[in-house]
Amino acid sequence: MTETTNIKAYGTEAAEAPLNQLGIDRRKPTAHDVEIDILYCGVCHSDLHTARNEWHGTIYPCVPGHEIVGKIVSVGDHVSKFKVGDVVGVGCMVDSCRECQYCQEGLEQYCEPGMTGTYNSPDKYLDTPTFGGYSENVVVDENFVLRIPENLELAATAPLLCAGITTYSPLRHWNVGPGKKVGIVGIGGLGHMGIKIAKAMGAEVVAFTTSESKFAEAKRLGADEVVMSKDAGQMAAYQGKLHFILDAVSAEHDINAYLGLLRVDGSLALVGAPENPLPVAAFSLIAGRKSFSGSMIGGIAETQEMLDFCGEHNIVADIEMIDIQQINDAYERLLKGDVKYRFVIDMASLKNQD
């Protein structure tokens, strides 16, 4: 039997229930594990989709959180990459089969039998689902732990572990760089990272938003141009102009309107994961030999590459720090697009709660 420790966490017992404090079991570190005292955890829209069972696979109780940064407090006997005191990150995965073709290529996120998500996956050691970063600590195999560049502010680095890699990976895959005009749609946690990273890669960046207040300030994030996507006139000006579009919208929206903005041979990659299907018209694709695709987070090596890239370019998220007790309000604000641009939980607020 795996030995465990009971710790404090924040999670939910049902789709309709608010998050509140609960106790969960963490395994004691095995030979290849590190135990991380969680300092900060970002709030991804996927946390909300999952807590509320919008993707129809949630196992309860559910403890979300996959943008984790913290300090290593103990290491197993065979750990060689990290030591006690190291400041590290954990993203959306804590394990994978490590043997399939995709794991061997560093694409653990597409592992054939399925990667182990940081939360809501079958736990390889315990009879519970995996529990995420809205908790005091986490125990993770060292191969799924990332190094944080020393120059980056720690709390604002947490969102890189999901929002950063989820935008970096497709921007790299579709060769975004100098000479490319790139659209970023939906300026939330993912979208605002997409602007910063695409700009640092050397592309010309056009931000598309439905929010007046973001329209006014997306240039500060690094966008060269900003489009109010609800304004048909502004959209029309970009018809056929973009090489690539990264769509990070969390809700239903008209994909065809964006496919129309691509040049011939252009691609639109969806990273946003709305609850319901998005209809695509045949002529949106065939007129212009366009591609409509998707991308999920990134592999472990690529996540480290992204963190090092952000370290070199001094890129972190724009954050609003919250206490864990504010998480239910934060979810409501997330649904309104009312966050600039990522909530990050100060995990001391959980440790200090009785």
Choose from Zn ion, ligand NAP, none: what does 250 bind? Cβ within 5-8 Å by kind.
ligand NAP
Query: Considering only residues 163-192, where is the footprint of ligand NAP by CB under 6 A?
Result: 163, 166, 186-191
Instruction: Give bridge partners of residue 25 from the DSSP assignment.
Output: 6
Choose which of 29, 65, 91, 272 interacts with ligand NAP (CB under 6 A). 272
Helix (H, G, I), strand (E, B) or coil at 91: coil
Choose which of 211, 267, 284, 303 interacts with ligand NAP (CB under 6 A). 211
Handedness of CA 81, 153, 219, 337 (dihedral sign): positive
At residue 309, φ and ψ (nearest 5 deg) are -60, -45
Instruction: Give the Cα separation of 69 and 209 in Å (integer).
Output: 29
What six digits make up the tokens of 279?
């209809």
Choose which of 7, 19, 36, 44 interacts with ligand NAP (CB under 6 A). 44
Residues that bind Zn ion (CB under 5 A): 44, 46, 96-97, 100, 103, 111, 162
Instruction: Give the Cα separation of 282 and 194 in Å (integer).
Output: 28
- Comparing every residue's Cβ against ligand NAP, the nearest one is 188
What is the Rg, in whole angstroms, of the alpha carbon atoms belonging to the chain? 20
| Shorter beta-carbon distance to ligand NAP: residue 261 or 297 | 297
Q: Does 209 bind ligand NAP (CB under 6 A)?
A: yes
Q: Does 214 bind ligand NAP (CB under 6 A)?
A: yes
Choose from Zn ion, ligand NAP, none: what does 97 bind? Cβ within 5-8 Å by kind.
Zn ion
Which string of DSSP letters, residue by residue, matches 115-130?
-EESSSSB-SSSSSB-
Percent helix / strand / coil, the chain, rounded to 5: 30, 30, 45
Query: What count of residues does the chain have?
Result: 354
Choose from ligand NAP, Zn ion, none: what does 100 bind? Cβ within 5-8 Å by kind.
Zn ion
Pick from 146, 208, 162, 158: which is nearest to 182 by CA?
Answer: 208
Choose from Zn ion, ligand NAP, none: what does 257 bind? Cβ within 5-8 Å by kind.
none
| Shorter beta-carbon distance to Zn ion: residue 113 or 177 | 113
- Residues lying near ligand NAP in the complex (CB under 6 A): 44-46, 49, 162-163, 166, 186-191, 209-211, 214, 248-251, 253, 271-274, 295-297, 334, 337
